[in-house]
Amino acid sequence: MANTVLVGLQWGDEGKGKIIDVLTERADVVVRFQGGNNAGHTVKVGEQQFVLHLVPSGILRERSLCIIGNGVVVDPLALDQEIAELEGKGIDVRSRLHLSSRAQLVFCYHRQMDGLFERKLGENKIGTTKRGIGPAYADKVNRVGIRAAALLHPARFEARFRAQAGFYNRLLSEGGEAPLDVDAEWGRLAAAADRLAPLVKDTVLMVNQASRAGREILFEGAQGTWLDVDYGTYPFVTSSNTTAGAACTGGGLAPSRIERVIGVAKAYTTRVGSGPFPTELTDDTGDELRRVGSEFGATTGRPRRCGWFDAVATRYAAMLNGADEMAVTKLDVLDDVRTLRICTAYSIDGVVTHEMPADIEDITRAVPVYEEMPGWRQPTSGVRCRRDLPAAALRYLERLAELAQCRISLLSIGPKREQTFTF
């Protein structure tokens, strides 16, 4: 396998974790390059289920080295806890996980500011995961963030943390929030820092040395294209670039070394949090997709909004990411649907467009233009090769690929490893 970037083509939760786990059967190194513990990547191994938030999904395969790259925002308390939980389940994490010394850290004041901003927005809130992701990226860009390198120097770390916490305590009290207990928080951080310090490395060197040695690197995207801070349904987005280009800036490997981009898309669409979602179903069909697909957030447990496959959004996303191939997941969830709909265009104030508009007002007003296809009304979760798929399922998939202008290379028909095949 070549150096590969894997990204979500929709609004997140496409099944990236599962596909990463399948691909890491062959990858030597797995790198997370953006986002933070707003991500929730579910991997089922046998009867055990793992939900990964900061640790790359490659950790579940013994051969792969796992890297949290500089583009990730890392909550040290959350990472410490995630490692402990994985180790509690028998996964050897510490010998294989490395944390970029340049990764930004997320603290309690970021989480509180996240909550404060959301409350101030009232009914216009973003519906964030309240993990402090936006405020942490804001600190990075404002050049006042604290990076993982600080974990190696407790005295410097403490001084910087106390200075920032003091600043935020003033802001929080102006916003009517309870002040942080800085001493108690520092106590928790110092203990976590002690355990995390051995993981802190110059991961740029590691990634480039691995690449030069001919080892194959898999970049694990979090969130999805339409949550990208530049290209997504702004302002209802996350605070990082979720698209393929970010693998280079957030992972430390140059664009000239990336050989393959895989986009992951569900056979329908979901979204968590607020913001426009043109193909959303607010009726019984939407409820049925949520029930059959167990569409509840892996991080916050919130019910996911469900809707039809949006070929306008997916084609644009495939183009933007340079994804020549797509892994389609959760086809099995559609097994009982009588008539399927695919959005092929948007009608905005009576004008039909095939492209995703930039303006949130236009996306909000977009009325999907649908084409219908008959469902297959039989189970697909036991299918293991293309020729065993029901004819109507095959036609549906071929139509998705045609409309998205992206060939399907992998198909997933259940949460388990073995419920995946090359298409």
The site string for Mg ion over 22-61 (x = CB under 5 A, - otherwise) reads ------------------x---------------------
Question: CA–CA separation, 309 vs 340, rounded Å?
Answer: 9
Question: CA–CA separation, 51 vs 181, rounded Å?
Answer: 30
Nearer residue to ligand IMO within complex by CB, 38 or 70? 38
Within a 10 A sphere around the Cβ of 10, how many other Cβ atoms?
25
DSSP for 116-137, please give it.
HHHHHHGGG-----SSSHHHHH
Task: Write down the catalytic residue from 21, 28, 41, 80.
Answer: 41
Residue 110 is among the residues annotated as catalytic for this protein: no
Exactly one of 59, 126, 237, 298 binds Mg ion (CB under 5 A); which one?
Answer: 298
Q: Quick check: bond before 390 cis, omega within 30?
A: no
Touching ligand GDP, residues 400-419 (CB under 6 A): 412-415
- Residue 227 binds which entry of ligand IMO, ligand GDP, Mg ion, none, CB below 5-8 Å type-dependent: ligand IMO
Q: Is 13 in the site for Mg ion (CB under 5 A)?
A: yes
> At closest approach, how far in Å is the CB of 353 from ligand GDP?
28
Q: Is 211 in the site for ligand GDP (CB under 6 A)?
A: no
- Residue 238 binds which entry of ligand GDP, Mg ion, ligand IMO, none, CB below 5-8 Å type-dependent: ligand IMO
Nearer residue to ligand IMO within complex by CB, 59 or 298? 298
- Residue 76 binds which entry of Mg ion, ligand GDP, ligand IMO, none, CB below 5-8 Å type-dependent: none
Residue 375 structure tokens: 């469902």
The site string for ligand GDP over 310-349 (x = CB under 6 A, - otherwise) reads -------------------xx-xx----------------
Question: CA–CA separation, 146 vs 172, rounded Å?
Answer: 19
Distance of CA 122 to the CA centre of its chain: 25
- Residue 128 binds which entry of ligand GDP, Mg ion, ligand IMO, none, CB below 5-8 Å type-dependent: ligand IMO
- Residue 332 binds which entry of ligand IMO, Mg ion, ligand GDP, none, CB below 5-8 Å type-dependent: ligand GDP
Q: From residue 79, give the alpha-carbon distance in Å to each of 40, 86, 135, 264, 419.
A: 13, 11, 18, 25, 30
What single DSSP character describes residue 58?
A: G
Nearer residue to ligand IMO within complex by CB, 137 or 186? 137
Residue 41 is among the residues annotated as catalytic for this protein: yes
Task: Write down the catalytic residue from 13, 21, 80, 114.
Answer: 13
Question: Can you name the residues that pair with 280 across neighbouring β-strands?
Answer: 307
Question: Can you name the residues that pair with 43 across neighbouring β-strands?
Answer: 50
Q: Is 32 in the site for ligand GDP (CB under 6 A)?
A: no
Residue 94 phi, psi dihedral angles, 5° rounding: -60, -30
Yes or no: say if 139 and 104 are a contact pair by the CB < 8 Å rule.
yes
- Residue 129 binds which entry of Mg ion, ligand IMO, ligand GDP, none, CB below 5-8 Å type-dependent: ligand IMO
For CA atoms 17, 126, 323, 36, the dihedral sign is negative
Q: From residue 188, give the alpha-carbon distance in Å to each of 11, 75, 76, 304.
A: 34, 12, 10, 33
* Binding region for ligand GDP (CB under 6 A) out of 41-49, 209-217, 253-261, 401-409: 41-49
Residue 420 structure tokens: 């995946």
Catalytic residues: 13, 41
Which residues contribute to the site for ligand GDP (CB under 6 A)?
8, 12-18, 40-42, 44, 294, 298, 329-330, 332-333, 412-415
